[in-house]
């Protein structure tokens, strides 16, 4: 395991940590020039440099395969841009809107669907842009929930987060504020009592959704960070991405979901990997994802079941794509499959 004392951001840092083979240096230079690199000490400590297939490294260490772009991949795979009426806002669904405060993350995932839009030097919202974004939300009473994303909103200081929450508090029709973040696992030391207080505002329900893909990420410090949030009355959910070589087997996926539930975090979404440029080596097939969901069903507690979803390219939103257990009617009766593969008749309803 690595013992990095600082965030690894450059190929020289990766090489010193044993994460950039000399024979791949030229290709990795091209990848790093195009897509941001950052691996925090907490994440670096989890990487087994002796394992060429380490699932943590696979998520964060640049790979030459990222230079291979498939024809179906594109820079805006889930269609943020067509649904962005003002800078920083994505309003795809009627009752909720994304507010992208920053383009910076503590770590940069190699499969990120916003990989063309995030990284050092990419613009965060200016004060004027933030004013316009909040004005857009305030003028639309149908927006019941605001989802703070980016980038990672929890890279911001508690003071900045508190300012945004104070302004959202003044918008009466916004009742729920949701933070999407990797910080509790990527940089758990950032989760302090001061940050927790900043996330809360009277009259608003705050939720934190943790992005996590492998059970090893729930190290002790990460568990403590999550407990600090939950013990303060902030419910936590999780979202994971189905990734080849990381979590695309039933034992790993089941262990991840159980570990989350043990930490009082409800598994929410399992995303099929998006068609971001240079990510085909990390995508599974949908059929494989459906089979994994079948293996989880019945063998793992209902509390551990995420919804397997596909973000439809072009900005058409998420659709559940899990396996279907209800078959067409035969002789006026439904055919229902159980988790063992048995098929049973059920009267029409």
Positions marked active-site: 92-93, 96, 105, 109, 112, 114, 274, 311, 318
**Helix, strand or coil for residue 309?**
strand
DSSP one-letter string for 214-278: -GGG--HHHHHHHHHHHHTT--EEEEEEE-TTTT-SHHHHHHHHHHHHHTTEEEEEEEEPP--TT
Sheet holding 343-346, edge to edge: 326-330, 333-337, 343-346
Q: Is 183 left (phi over 0), alpha (psi -120 to 50) or beta?
A: alpha
Question: Exposed (0-12), middle (13-18) or buried (19+): which is 228, by Cβ within 10 Å?
Answer: middle
User: What does the block give as tokens for 152?
Assistant: 């990672």
Sign of CA dihedral 248, 251, 252, 257: positive
State residue 13 phi and psi, 5-degree precision.
-65, -45
Which pairing describes strands 205-211 and 176-181: parallel, antiparallel, or unpaired? Answer: parallel
Q: Are 47 and 54 in contact (CB under 8 A)?
A: yes
User: What does the block give as tokens for 72?
Assistant: 């179906």
Instruction: Give the CA-trace dihedral at 210, 155, 82, 271, to 10 degrees.
Output: -20
106 prior amide bond cis, ω within 30? no
């Amino acid at each position: 395991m690595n013992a990095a004392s600082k965030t690894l951001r450059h190929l020289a840092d990766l090489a010193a940590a044993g994460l950039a083979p000399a024979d791949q240096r030229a290709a990795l230079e091209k990848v790093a020039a195009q897509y941001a690199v950052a691996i925090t000490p907490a994440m670096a400590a989890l990487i087994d440099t002796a394992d060429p297939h380490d699932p943590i490294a696979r998520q964060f260490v640049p790979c030459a395969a990222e230079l291979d772009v498939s024809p179906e991949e594109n820079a805006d795979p889930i269609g943020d841009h067509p649904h962005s009426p003002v800078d920083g806002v994505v309003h795809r669904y009627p009752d909720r809107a994304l507010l992208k405060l920053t383009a910076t993350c503590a770590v940069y995932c190699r499969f990120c669907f916003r990989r063309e839009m995030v990284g050092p030097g990419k613009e965060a919202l200016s004060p004027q842009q933030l004013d316009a974004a909040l004005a857009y939300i305030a003028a639309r009473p149908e927006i019941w929930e605001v989802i703070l994303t980016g980038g990672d909103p929890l890279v911001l200081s508690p003071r900045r987060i508190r300012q945004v929450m104070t302004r959202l508090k003044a918008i009466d029709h916004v009742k729920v504020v949701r933070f999407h973040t990797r910080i509790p696992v990527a940089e758990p030391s950032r989760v302090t009592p001061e940050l927790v207080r900043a996330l809360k505002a009277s009259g608003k329900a705050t939720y934190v959704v943790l992005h996590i893909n492998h059970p090893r990420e729930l190290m002790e410090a990460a568990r403590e960070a999550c407990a600090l949030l939950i013990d303060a009355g902030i419910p936590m959910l999780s979202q994971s991405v189905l990734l080849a070589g990381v979590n695309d087997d039933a034992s790993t996926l089941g262990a991840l979901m159980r570990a989350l539930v043990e930490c009082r975090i409800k598994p929410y979404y399992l995303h099929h990997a998006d068609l971001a440029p240079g990510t085909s080596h990390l995508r599974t097939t949908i059929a494989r994802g459906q089979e994994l969901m079948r293996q989880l069903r019945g063998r793992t507690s209902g509390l551990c079941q995420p919804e397997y979803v596909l973000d439809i390219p072009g900005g058409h939103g998420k659709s559940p794509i899990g396996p279907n257990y209800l078959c067409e009617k035969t002789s006026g009766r439904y055919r229902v499959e159980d988790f063992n593969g048995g098929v049973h008749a059920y009267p029409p309803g």
